[in-house]
């Protein structure tokens, strides 16, 4: 990894747009189970269709709210790990670059670790919004496990996350796509790269000229396209990069 980090330092020194695209693997080291790593923790004994889909919400909003409150409570207990912290540190270590995080995670851990430019393409479990999109958005109140109504229009409120089968918010995704097009270096971190349209971002970045760097202990569909595919956990790689940048 040392040689790769040396090459990355050279590329980072010239970069004005640095993008870090993250998925569930980044938060795994904080103790948040990933959906595809097996039915553990939050995902044990539940049907995703019931608790994380629009059909499930229409049929039984109280089940959906209760499950999301359990998820929010888990997120409130966990802390950012060295991967999140290393990513946040890039902002001060690369003062001449703009550092943008695009995340598929809904746990708020990038903001908790200090990253200031975070595009949450799958929303955030720390917020609710009006189901009818009337404009109401609010922080999730701890302990609120029964469905709340939208105070503006009276419709039901819902978690501000993108559920299975739902389309992404177009404005948010456009911001992410623009960041990918502008990127000089695009890191893809802890994502299996199989959920579209999120998974199109790394290849779009590469087509528009970015150096593509993958951080994942396992091979993914991106590995063969990446300029560097680094077989390491995020909480191992980013502290190493941070240290090398600080020593420069
Ligand atoms: N560091 C980096 N990568 C890791 C680590 C780690 N410590 N641990 C696991 N990984 C990798 C796994 O090898 C896998 O490739 O993280 C990836 C996690 O993949 P997924 O569980 O598929 O997560 P993600 O890609 O974020 O899923 C995308 O699907 O579940 C839906 O909407 C949800 O946003 C999510 C989307």
113-133 per-position pLDDT tens digit: 999 999 999 999 999 999 999
Is the CB of residue 199 below 6 angstroms from any atom belonging to ligand 1? Answer: no
Beta bridge partners, 221, equal: none
State which of 108, 187, 191, 202 you would mutate to test the pocket of ligand 1, scoring each by most atoms of that ligand within 8 A of its C-beta: 191
Band the pLDDT of 173: cuts 50, 70, 90.
Answer: very high
Mean pLDDT of 207-220: 97
Ligand 1 centre distance from Cα of residue 194 (Å): 9
Mean pLDDT of 217-243: 96
Exposure string of 194-206, with b = 16+ CB inside 10 Å and e = fewer, is eeeebbebbbbbb
Q: Report whether 225 contacts 57 (CB < 8 A).
A: no
State which CATH number among 3.30.1600.10, 3.40.920.10, 3.40.50.1010, 3.50.50.60 fits the domain covering 33-77+124-161.
Answer: 3.30.1600.10
Mean pLDDT of the chain: 94
**What residue's CA is closest to ligand 1, atom 8?**
25
Strands 185-189 and 228-230 come out as unpaired
| Domain boundaries for CATH 3.30.1600.10 within the chain | 33-77+124-161
Ligand 1 centre distance from Cα of residue 232 (Å): 13
Beta bridge partners, 214, equal: 188, 229
- The predicted pLDDT at position 34 comes to 73
**In ligand 1, which atom is closest to the CA atom of 29?**
7
**Class level of CATH domain 2-31+80-122+168-247:** alpha beta
- The predicted pLDDT at position 2 comes to 84
pLDDT, one tens digit per residue, over 15-67 is 999 999 999 999 999 998 776 665 566 777 788 889 999 999 999 999 999 99
Ligand 1 centre distance from Cα of residue 246 (Å): 28
Short-list 212, 5, 213, 186, CA closest to 100: 186
More confident residue, 195 or 94: 94
In this structure, the number of other CB atoms found within 10 A of the CB of residue 245 comes to 19
What is the sign, positive or negative, of the torsion defined by CA atoms of 102, 145, 48, 29?
positive
**In ligand 1, which atom is closest to the CA atom of 106?**
34
State which of 20, 24, 68 you would mutate to test the pocket of ligand 1, scoring each by most atoms of that ligand within 8 A of its C-beta: 24
Q: Report whether 100 contacts 115 (CB < 8 A).
A: no
- Reported in sequence order, the residue ranges of 32-151 that DSSP labels E, i.e. its strands, are 98-103, 118-120, 123-130, 137-139
How far apart are alpha carbons 49 and 138 in whole angstroms?
Answer: 25
Short-list 246, 240, 202, 184, CA closest to 18: 184
Conformational region of residue 93, where left means phi above 0, alpha means psi within -120 to 50, and beta covers everything else: alpha
| Domain boundaries for CATH 3.40.50.1220 within the chain | 2-31+80-122+168-247
Mean pLDDT of 92-107: 97
């Amino acid at each position: 990894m040392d040689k790769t980090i040396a090459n990355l330092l050279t590329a980072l020194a010239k970069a004005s747009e640095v993008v870090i695209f993250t998925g569930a693997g980044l938060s795994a080291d904080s103790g948040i189970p990933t959906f595809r790593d097996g039915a553990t923790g939050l995902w044990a004994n539940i049907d995703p269709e019931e608790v994380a889909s629009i059909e499930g919400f229409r049929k039984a909003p109280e089940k959906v709210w209760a499950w999301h409150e359990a998820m929010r409570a888990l997120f409130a207990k966990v802390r950012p790990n060295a991967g999140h912290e290393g990513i946040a540190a890039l902002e001060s270590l690369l003062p001449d670059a703009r550092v943008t995080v695009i995340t598929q995670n809904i746990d708020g851990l990038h903001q908790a670790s200090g990253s200031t430019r975070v595009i949450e393409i799958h929303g955030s479990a720390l917020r609710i919004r009006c189901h009818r999109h009337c404009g109401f958005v609010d922080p999730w109140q701890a302990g609120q496990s029964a469905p709340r109504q939208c105070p503006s229009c009276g419709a039901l409120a819902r978690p501000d996350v993108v559920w299975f089968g739902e389309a992404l918010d177009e404005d948010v995704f456009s911001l992410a796509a623009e960041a990918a097009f502008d990127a000089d270096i695009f890191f893809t971190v802890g994502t299996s790269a199989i959920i579209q349209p999120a998974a199109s971002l790394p290849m779009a970045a590469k087509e528009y000229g970015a150096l593509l760097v993958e951080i994942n202990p396992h091979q993914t569909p991106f590995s063969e396209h990446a300029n560097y595919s680094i077989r390491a956990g995020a909480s191992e790689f980013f502290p190493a990069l941070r240290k090398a940048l600080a020593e420069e």
